[in-house]
Amino acid sequence: MAALLFSLLALFLCHHPSTVSARCGTIDQGSTLQLLHVNSPCSPFRPKSLSWENSVLQMQAGDKSRLQYLSSLVVPIASGRTITQNPTYIVRVNIGTPPQQLLVALDTSNDAAWIPCTGCVGCSSSTFDPAKSSTFKPLRCGSPQCSQVPNPSCGGASCGFNTTYGGSSISAGLVQDSIALATDSISGYTFGCVQKSTGSSFPAQGLLGLGRGPLSLMSQSTSLYQSTFSYCLPGYKSTSFAGSLTLGPHSQPVRIKTTQLLRNPRRSSLYYVNLVAIRVGGRIVDIPPSAFAFDPNTGAGTIFDSGTVFTILVKPAYEAVRDEVRRRMRGAAVSSLGGFDTCYNVAISVPTITFMFTGMNVTLAQDNFVIRSSAGSTSCLAMAAAAEGSVNSGLNVIASFQQQNHRILIDGPNSKLGVAREACT
């Protein structure tokens, strides 16, 4: 079992450090930032001592808590709880004057940015030093932004707060400073300057939130970016580093399939779409419409998320997909591996899976739904069912493995989400 996991992961997170180091310093240009996988050779955050098998098990465990976290995002949105446990992709940002470069996790389901600040107790990574920035400013208690954080504490004059997420407690101050993204600069950007973190859930690198709430980068830069961005997530095996995050309406794909973006008041940070059916190969599988129902009262529906690794479907939807895959395997012996319950020692004979949204079909090739061991001897359907009974609540999550090598466009002004194939490998 361990050996199998090892070889599966060896391929999954394959590294060729000697051939890629020259590209690690790529300069971000215009409004486009290079997007890196957190475990890629250029990432300082890639696990050094963690074994591959532990790393896959961790990712799967991370998806579970991620779903719990996404499900917990109910009104009133507590921005302080918007911390994910398993950031997967990172970008470079420059904060302060003169600029201090940080690599932060991109999170499309978070509003706030959380930056580890100098002196932070329990932050393990590189930090931002407010004392070295001439444009740094703590926000006062009476500021409008202070009312957007949960339980602001106003012991002193400045706005601070304590919050918990998963196993971590965090103390942060609400502050403002300039942020530069590629060659764009935004002054007076509001973020949380983390001063203390206990527990293991807080991501070392901090977060950049591209969600839809008031403290999000997108909400703080509407004149510059007009609530529009797109990204292409490179494959986990990538060594070419062509992943990118493009901010603003310029340089966005013109020809792209789109579907309506929905706003769910129950979970207002998240990017909802209307998933209506799933096709496995040529067959639309039998899934009760209730499995996909968008419900503003419960928060149920389907979202695109960059922080979950493997797509999670509510049980009846997952089981219908899984059963059709198994049916097409005509009795080949099925096994499980970690969180995957549909694995084979032979090739999976399903060429495509199509997610059918209102007005947009997205057909995925095997690279987006089959995970294979390096020896090629084991292949698993790389999706999972949501655990039943929890707070969960009918949330389907289209996750990063399924989004790889596609451009995902968020077009706020037109309320559209677009998907186009793009080899950013």
**Is 107 an active-site residue?**
yes
Would you say 100 or 402 has its CB closer to ligand NAG? Answer: 402
Q: Which of 28, 111, 177, 305 is catalytic?
A: 305
Question: Minimum Å distance from CB 135 to ligand NAG?
Answer: 23
Provide, rounded to whole angstroms, the least separation between the CB of residue 273 and ligand NAG.
Answer: 13
Choose the catalytic residue: 28, 63, 107, 177. Answer: 107
Nearest-approach distance from CB 160 to ligand NAG, in angstroms: 3
Q: What are phi and psi of 231, to 5 degrees?
A: -145, 155
By beta-carbon proximity to ligand NAG, the closer residue of 73 and 170 is: 170
Minimum Å gap between C-beta 153 and ligand NAG is: 3
164 binds ligand NAG (CB under 6 A): no
**Residue 378 CB coordination number (10 Å):** 20
Is the preceding omega at residue 76 within 30 degrees of 0, hence cis?
yes
In the region spanning residues 329 to 368, those forming contacts with ligand NAG, defined by CB under 6 A, are 356, 359-361
One of 62, 160, 192, 339 touching ligand NAG (CB under 6 A): 160
Is residue 279 near ligand NAG by the rule CB under 6 A? yes
- Tell me how far, at minimum, the Cβ of 161 lies from ligand NAG, in Å: 5
Q: Can you tell me which of 65, 97, 153, 352 binds ligand NAG, judged by CB under 6 A?
A: 153
* Residue 162 within binding range of ligand NAG, rule CB under 6 A: yes
Q: Is 15 in the site for ligand NAG (CB under 6 A)?
A: no
Please state the φ and ψ torsions of residue 271, each to the nearest 5 degrees: -95, 100
Measured from the CB atom, the residue of 171 and 230 that comes closer to ligand NAG is: 171
Closer Cβ to ligand NAG, 155 or 331, answer by number: 155
Complex with ligand NAG: residue 171 or 201, whichever CB lies closer: 171
Q: Which stretch binds ligand NAG (CB under 6 A): 13-21, 36-44, 155-163, 403-411?
A: 155-163
Instruction: Determine if 161 is a binding residue for ligand NAG (CB under 6 A).
Output: yes
Active-site annotation holds for 295: no
CB of 88 to ligand NAG, least distance (A): 29
CB nearer to ligand NAG: give 67 or 120: 120
Q: How far is the CB of 342 from ligand NAG (least distance, A)?
A: 23
Would residue 398 be called left, alpha or beta, if left means φ above 0 and alpha means ψ between -120 and 50 degrees? beta
Whichever of 300 and 360 has its CB closer to ligand NAG, that residue is 360
SS (H, E, C) the chain: CHHHHHHHHHHHCCCCHHHHHHHHHCCCECCEEECEECCCCCCCCCCCCCCHHHHHHHHHHHHHHHHHHHHCCCCCCCHHHCCCCCCCEEEEEEECCCCEEEEEEEECCCCCCEEEEEEEECCCCCCECHHHCCCCEECECCCHHHHHCCCEECCCCECEEEEEECCEEEEEEEEEEEEEECCEEEEEEEEEEEEEEECCCCCCCCEEECCCCCCCHHHHCHHHHCCEEEEECCCCCCCCCCCEEEECCCCCCCCCEEEECECCHHHCCCEEECEEEEEECCEECCCCHHHCCCECCCCEEEEECCCCCCEEECHHHHHHHHHHHHHHCCCCCCEEECCEEEEECCCCCCCEEEEEECCEEEEEEHHHCEEECCCCCCEEECEEECCCCCCCCCEEEECHHHHCCEEEEEECCCCEEEEEECCCC
For the segment 112-141, give every residue that binds ligand NAG (CB under 6 A): none
Which span sits near ligand NAG by CB under 6 A: 81-89, 159-167, 184-192, 248-256? 159-167
Question: Exactly one of 40, 171, 190, 306 binds ligand NAG (CB under 6 A); which one?
Answer: 171
Using the rule CB under 6 A, is 165 a contact of ligand NAG? no
- How many residues touch ligand NAG under the rule CB under 6 A: the total is 11
Q: Which residues of this protein are in contact with ligand NAG, per CB under 6 A?
A: 153, 155, 160-162, 171, 279, 356, 359-361
Q: Tell me which residues are annotated as active site.
A: 107, 305
